[in-house]
Amino acid sequence: MGALLLLPVFLPVVAGTYLLVSLAVEKQKRKAEGGELPEPDEEARKKLHTRVLAVLVVSAVLAVVVSWSGDHSVTLFELMKGIPVYFRVDDIGRLFVTLVSIVWVLVGVYSFVYMEHEGKEQRFFGFYLIVYGVLVALCFSGNLVTLYMFYEIMTLTSMPMVLHNGSHESIMAALKYLFYSMCGAYLGLFAIFFLYRYCDTLTFTAGGTLNPELLGNNTWILLIAVFAALIGFGAKAGMFPLHAWLPTAHPVAPSPASAVLSGVIAKAGVLAIIRVVFYIVGADFIRGTWVQTAWMTLALLTVFMGSMMAFREKIFKKRLAYSTVSQVSYVLFGLSVLSPVGMTGALLHVIFHMFIKCALFLTAGTFIFRTGKTRVEELYGIGKQMPLTVWCYTFASLALIGIPPTSGFVSKWYLAQGALSANVGAFGWAGPAILLVSALLTAGYLLPVTTNGFFPGNKANPEELPRLSEPKGMLIPLAILAALTVLLGIFPNPLISFAGQIASSVL
């Protein structure tokens, strides 16, 4: 059964590679004939979409079924003596792989319509499939070296989705994404060197594998190493000071790419931090140290700063990118208080934010696809033109703000309770206070799109607001995500129980 773990990893990677190689061969053939590769006709596009959807659905079903059918493991090969490249399923892995699979399929379906607007579909879907396989491998990683290897591959394979349109702006944004991600990953690698020296094993074990006898009097150097890992892997999660790639990359990437960058790939940094803190060094090692204090400080600073920058930003997708900077640090703060309730809230916010933020970015993509509008002040009256899309946006926005009974209220409640119940001094009240201020700012930068969209006043001429078609291929995935943001808040108990089970196993 363990070998089945490899299928959802390699099936999309092989299929995506085939799309890219066949595209390159066809381009070379056309070039030799003195012509250029034409845009695919409708029949060719449908054939491409059918193949991509089949691979996505089969891979996602395999990943979810295998992950929930037991704790399986398989070794790919020995990187060096005592360090295998190794897959193993545990509770945190099956949670993340399930979320990734659901979102990847929904955003993929949305992309079939949207990418007609962007062009170069075969190249996009080639990388889209490859990145999904890499993310599954990341979720299934059984030790820290395996996770690091696929973490780096994820950066390299997702970068082409940022530079998709080939403009100077997108190329520079992709390079910035690469630079920040690689710098962060190297800080993580620095930590791995020391963790290998002072831990019994780098295999993920609930509660950690740190050996006090090996550590001796070298606590200070390992604290520095753990802090380097927090900063390094925090780069992908958008934590200050390595957060600046998000608001640069998101506006230039196609909206489906922005959705998965923000909703999914940013959570890869969260997963890496969870693995280092709770499955390698153990929470007790950093509890009460300067590392925990610095981590809580940086997380809360990022929450407030991201919300303020989003409130001031006028470009819609960039506003949503700054929102991600803020919201993912909600998760990091919940983890940093090192309490079971706080970690439960953090895991719940991972789930809910993944659906919410993907819905918001897909809304932005629908606006661009139908109207070409990218700035907030251009969206007056958009609710009269695209009411179903704006209603989906509104439900997702209410969830992100944390209005009951939506899902965001549940996770933020647990985050606040986790801070108040943890023995973290002033952070116990400062955390909930900053989360509340951030929620008010979130309402301030999200809800005006709804109110101005449905009630434009004299800012828009009614004759200039014709009803626009809302393609079903884009609206259905968006509606499913919007519905999940509400339904998971009304029926949260199974998720609360599962997240609490994970938290209690490591704390």
Residue type at position 114: Y
Beta-bridge mates of residue 77 = 85
Burial, 104: exposed, middle or buried (Cβ in 10 Å; 0-12, 13-18, 19+)? buried
From CA 396, how far away is CA 262, in angstroms rounded? 15
- 62, HSE (Cβ side, Cα atoms, 13 Å): 23
* Cα(242)–Cα(228) distance, integer angstroms: 12
Contact 235, 269 (CB under 8 A): yes
Rounded distance between C-alpha atoms, residue 127 and residue 60, angstroms: 16
CA 131, 132, 134, 138 dihedral sign is: positive
C-beta pairs of 218-226 under 8 Å, 24+ apart in sequence: 221/194, 222/194, 222/195, 222/198, 222/281, 222/285, 223/286, 223/289, 223/290, 223/291, 225/190, 225/191, 225/193, 225/194, 225/195, 226/191, 226/276, 226/277, 226/281, 226/285, 226/286, 226/291
From the list 125, 96, 103, 122, the residue with the least C-alpha distance to 41 is 122
Q: Within 10 Å of residue 193's Cβ, how many Cβ atoms?
A: 9
In sequence order, the β-bridge partners of residue 83 are 80
- Find, among 418, 470, 369, the residue nearest to 118 by Cα: 369
Specify the 3-state DSSP secondary structure of 315: strand
pLDDT tens for the 507 residues of the chain, in order: 567 889 999 999 999 999 999 988 888 887 777 666 667 778 888 999 999 999 999 999 999 999 999 888 888 888 888 889 999 999 999 999 999 999 999 999 999 999 987 888 999 999 999 999 999 999 999 999 999 999 999 999 999 999 988 888 889 999 999 999 999 999 999 999 999 999 999 999 999 999 988 888 889 999 999 999 999 999 999 898 888 888 898 888 899 999 999 999 999 999 999 999 999 999 999 999 999 999 999 999 999 999 999 999 999 999 999 999 999 999 999 999 999 999 999 999 999 999 999 999 999 999 999 888 889 998 998 998 999 999 999 999 999 999 999 999 999 999 999 999 998 999 999 999 999 999 999 999 999 999 999 988 777 666 677 888 888 999 999 999 999 999 999 999 999 999 999 999 998
Question: Who contacts 152 (Cβ-Cβ below 8 Å, separation ≥6)?
Answer: 182, 185
Amino acid at 137: A
What is the rounded distance in angstroms from the CA atom of residue 420 to the CA atom of residue 431?
A: 8
**DSSP SS3 for 375:** strand
Q: Which of 354, 294, 366 is nearest to 324 (CA)?
A: 354
Residue with tokens 């946006």: 393
* CA atoms of 303 and 305, how far apart (whole Å): 6
Whole-angstrom Cα distance, residue 423 to residue 232?
A: 26
Cβ neighbours of residue 443 closer than 8 Å, sequence gap 6 or more: 401
- Listed residue (253, 99, 92) closest to 171, CA to CA: 253
**Distance of alpha carbon 373 from alpha carbon 100, whole angstroms:** 29
Start-to-end CA distance of the chain, whole Å, equals: 30
What was the pLDDT predicted at 445? 95
- Please, what is the Cα angle at 368 between 362 and 369, to 5 degrees? 85
Helices (H) and strands (E) in the chain, counts: 21, 2
Q: How far apart are CA 327 and CA 11, in angstroms?
A: 33
Q: What dihedral angle (degrees, nearest 10) is formed by the CA atoms of 245, 247, 252, 253?
A: 70
Cα dihedral 348, 350, 351, 357, rounded to 10, equals 130
Q: How far apart are CA 233 and CA 193, in angstroms?
A: 15
For residues 32 and 128, give the distance between their C-alpha atoms in angstroms, rounded to a whole number.
Answer: 28
Please give the pLDDT value at position 339.
Answer: 95
Question: pTM of this prediction?
Answer: 0.95
